[in-house]
Amino acid sequence: MGKDKKIDLTQSELEEARRFLDEGKPLPDKYRFKLFGDDRQVELVWNGKTHQTENAVLPFQTIEEVWEPRDEKAKKGETESAFDFSGSRTTGWANKLIWGENALILSSLKNGPLREEIERQGGIKLIYIDPPFKVDADFSMDIEIGDETFEKDPSVIETLAYRDTWGEGTDSWIAMIYERLKLMRDLLADDGSIYVHCDYRVSGYMRLILDEVFGKDYFRNEIIWHYQGSWVEPKKYFPRRHNSIFFYKKTESATFIRQHEDDHQDQVNFQRWEEYIEDNKIYGKKYPEHDSRFSTYLDKFKEEHGREPRDEEVVYEIKGTVAGTVWNMKKVDPKSPQNIGYPTQKPEELLERIIKSSSNEGDIVTDFFVGSGTTAAVAEKLGRKWICSDLGKFSIHTTRKRMINAQRELKDEGKGYRAFEILNLGRYEREYYVGESQNKTATRANEYEDLILRAYKAEPVKGFQMFSGKKSGHMVAVGPVNLPVTRGWVENVVKESLANNVTQVDILAFEYEMGLFPHIQEEAKDKGVTLELKIIPPEVFDKRAVEKSEVNFYDVAWIDGEVAQKKGQARVELTNFSVNYEQDANLDPGDKSDLGKGQSKIIVRGGQVVKLSKDDKRVVHEEVLTKSWTDWIDYWAVDFDFESKKELVQVKNDDGEFEEKWTGNYVFENEWQSFRTKQDRELELETPWHEIEELEDHPRKIAIKVVDIFGNDTMKIIKIKP
């Protein structure tokens, strides 16, 4: 409050204020203006409002690079050529697909070393987001197996994100989007724009939030995306057939390129102009030169080429009406190749107009709730650079497949395409959450182990070097938070087991050294020790998930593959894959509330997808849908020279400067891949022959990566002879 501000309260107001204070109640809003002189006339206020934003700077880890789409011309038995001159990769900037919590991603982009690279590329010119705005969790996905479809439950981390978003009603949703929009504005270039997609549930709040973050003077349009539907019409209200998209710019210098409805270009021959205008119903223009736009085209051509255009070079642009704020565009057609079965997927036509309106070729376009990857796919096809992120691992996997398809299409059409990297915050995010959740005066290692044991529902034990707990007669060993479990670490577990007559051990870890299993388990079993290797899921750091016993540790999957060699070439065959997942495995088929007469449900039990159905006589039938190990595979890829590229991150040194550091891991460079799509369920299990460089002093390693139908990655390393 300014020192010249006079407090002007009546006697009754003073008594009322004193009464509220004596009773420990908050003062009514009117006192904010009377006491503190807040001259804001309109403001959105919610419970717990704060202007603070996430400020962590965590290094981005590169978990995969997709540099080159596979050669579609190379079939089984043929060799992929290293000299394919159709489409080619554009050098320089590699696009970014980032898995993780977007507040941490935005903060690390804004304040970290990647910001410098972004600025060198001209900065972020366009942000489009389609944040979750439904009041029910909608992170489930339909997964196809053979002729059947089952619904994959949302992961616990996605469910927790839903709780964070809607756990305290509208207040928590507003708090979530407000913080992220503030970070986005800070990250956006001065001549950048933002488009925010929402529907009737939150559009009123969204407009006020955007006014506060970007300033109401920088509001440009509320775009109405209108679409048709074939659903049953409601009886008590008008059918809801539109979403809103709010368009704001950061400053007056923001890029904007006017768009037209139904733009197209046709080649026109002067001698056939009358026939052309008749066919295209363009009346009143006998000759093209009578149109000022055509004259402009001729002038520009002469200026660029120093001559008149030949007939075959004449391109006359037919423009429709200027696009307004109501966009009549169909939803994604279920039969369209565009459709990938994602519940919130938007049509490419919608993103195409947005990207063309507020960016130019070569600009960076971003989407921090990327979902099915529409923004990335359209940006790639329009020659834009992009950065996209999502919390859902399945979303990242869906986008990866979509972008590889986009690369393949561009390559086949003889057009340029860009490589893209798959990044996350990895162990640095885990260290951050551990640090945030721990008492800074306590020993971090002990608190971390206690946290994992509580989530695993194991009892702590003392007096051991490698064992931290015990559960159901099994000893429990917890791997480090910031490093993968190595062969040497497991051998120490086995050594301590033998010394203490322990025969059953559960090992819990975030990551395992590649190539560790199943061989390490077989070796331990030969010595009399059974090892169960399990993955610690990210939701272990959420207290609510731990308290509600919702943290599921799942067994490590394993891959078998074979490599064939001939001089200067190698070929990889995928020969086996095994998982052990559970979903609704405890469902009681006899319980009518779970499975009614004539109904069916799909569960996952002991690594098998099983369809339960109850016939008209209430007899329960079971059908195993995963008839082969291949049914579990959605995608697999090969790096023919693994460990040729170290994973480097930028971390702060003691002087506060960023410096490059090797994580100890290597980047998976995706050189060949086969995957299923909604339209094509076939999966190749053998690569073509691939040319490899022979180095006598360099024992080559080939890496195989498999992504299963739940979106989880598993890798295997195979050493081959020089």
407 or 164, which is more confident: 407
| pLDDT tens digit sequence for 226-260 | 998 656 788 899 988 999 999 999 999 999 999 98
Query: What is the widest separation between alpha-carbon atoms in the chain?
Result: 98
Q: With 60 as the cut, is the pLDDT of residue 588 above it?
A: no
Q: Which pLDDT band, with edges at 50, 70 and 90, does 695 fall under? A: low
% residues pLDDT > 70 (the chain) = 78
Confidence of residue 161 (pLDDT cuts 50, 70, 90): low
643 within domain boundaries: yes
396, 371: one domain: yes
> 432 is written with which tokens?
């951050």
Strand 608-614, strand 600-605: pairing: antiparallel
Determine the pLDDT at residue 157.
56
202 and 299 inside one domain: no
Is pLDDT of 99 > 60? yes
**Could you give the CA distance from residue 667 to residue 656 in angstroms, rounded to a whole number?**
26
Given 484, 517, 551, the domain boundary residue is: 551
Of 492, 523, 551, the domain-final residue: 551
pLDDT tier for residue 393 given thresholds of 50, 70 and 90: confident
Query: Residue 584 — pLDDT band, cuts 50, 70, 90?
Result: low
Instruction: Let me know whether 411 and 499 are in one domain.
Output: no
Q: What is the mean pLDDT of residues 121-148?
A: 75
Strand-pair partners of 621: 613
Q: Which residues pair with 578 in a beta bridge?
A: 558
Measure Cα distances from 233 to 108, 243, 474 in Å: 46, 17, 58
The confidence score (pLDDT) of residue 267 equals 45
Domain with 456 in it: 443-551
The counts of H helices and E strands in the chain are 17, 34
| Cβ–Cβ under 8 Å, residues 220 and 248 | yes
Q: Residue with structure tokens 């052990």?
A: 580
Rounded to whole angstroms, the Cα distance separating 375 from 385 reads 11
**Residue of 131, 676, 625, 97 whose CA lies nearest to 380:** 97
Q: Pick the most confident of 255-259, 592-596, 690-694.
A: 255-259
For 331-341, how does the pLDDT look when each residue is reduced to its tens digit (9 = 90+)?
Answer: 988 888 888 87
Query: Are 406 and 471 contained in the same domain?
Result: no
Query: Are 177 and 211 members of one domain?
Result: yes
Contact 609, 151 (CB under 8 A): no
70 and 216 assigned to the same domain: yes
If asked whether residues 69 and 146 sit together in one domain, one would say yes
Same domain, 283 and 382: no
Structural domains counted in the chain: 5
Which residue among 528, 551, 574 closes a domain? 551
Within this chain, do residues 311 and 328 fall inside the same structural domain, yes or no?
A: no
Q: Does 307 reside within a domain?
A: yes
Check pLDDT > 80 for residue 154: no
| Rounded Cα gap, residues 661 and 103, in angstroms | 24
> Cα–Cα distance between 518 and 558 in angstroms, integer?
7
Between CA 707 and CA 712 the distance in angstroms is 5
pTM of the model: 0.81
State the pLDDT at residue 58. 93
Whether residue 56 lies inside any domain: the answer is no
Contact 449, 468 (CB under 8 A): yes
Is 696 part of a structural domain of the chain? yes
Regarding whether 84 and 129 lie in a shared domain, the answer is yes
Return the minimum-mean-pLDDT range out of 313-327, 367-381, 480-494, 526-540: 313-327
Helix (H/G/I), strand (E/B), else coil: 316: strand
Amino acid at 656: G
The answer on pLDDT for 389 being more than 80 is: yes
Question: Environment class of residue 44 by beta-carbon count within 10 Å: exposed (0-12), middle (13-18) or buried (19+)?
Answer: middle
285, pLDDT greater than 50: no
Question: 569 - beta bridge partners?
Answer: 566, 691
414 within a domain of the structure (yes/no): yes
Higher pLDDT, 699 or 634: 634
CATH code for the domain in which residue 120 is found: 3.40.50.150
Could you tell me the pLDDT band of residue 263, with boundaries at 50, 70 and 90?
low
Is the Cβ–Cβ distance between 712 and 393 less than 8 Å? yes
What pLDDT, on the 0 to 100 scale, is given for residue 579?
Answer: 84
437 in a structural domain: no
Helix (H, G, I), strand (E, B) or coil at 210: helix
Which residue carries 């990655």 as its tokens? Answer: 713
- Is residue 557 within 8 A of residue 708, CB to CB? The reply is yes
**What confidence tier does 38 reach under pLDDT thresholds 50, 70, 90?**
low
- Measured between alpha carbons, how far is 650 from 661 in angstroms, rounded to an integer? 6
Structure tokens belonging to residue 67 = 């540099």
Mean pLDDT on 613-629: 83
Whether residue 106 sits in one domain with residue 251: yes
Q: What is the pLDDT of residue 571?
A: 95
432 within a domain of the structure (yes/no): no
Residues 568 and 686 in one domain: yes
The better pLDDT of the pair 104, 172 is held by: 104
Q: In the structure encoding, which two tokens stand for residue 25, read together?
A: 């109640």
Query: How confident is the model over 176-229, as pLDDT tens digits?
Result: 999 999 999 999 999 999 999 999 988 999 999 999 999 999 999 999 999 986
Position 160 scores a pLDDT of 57
**pLDDT above 80: residue 326:** yes
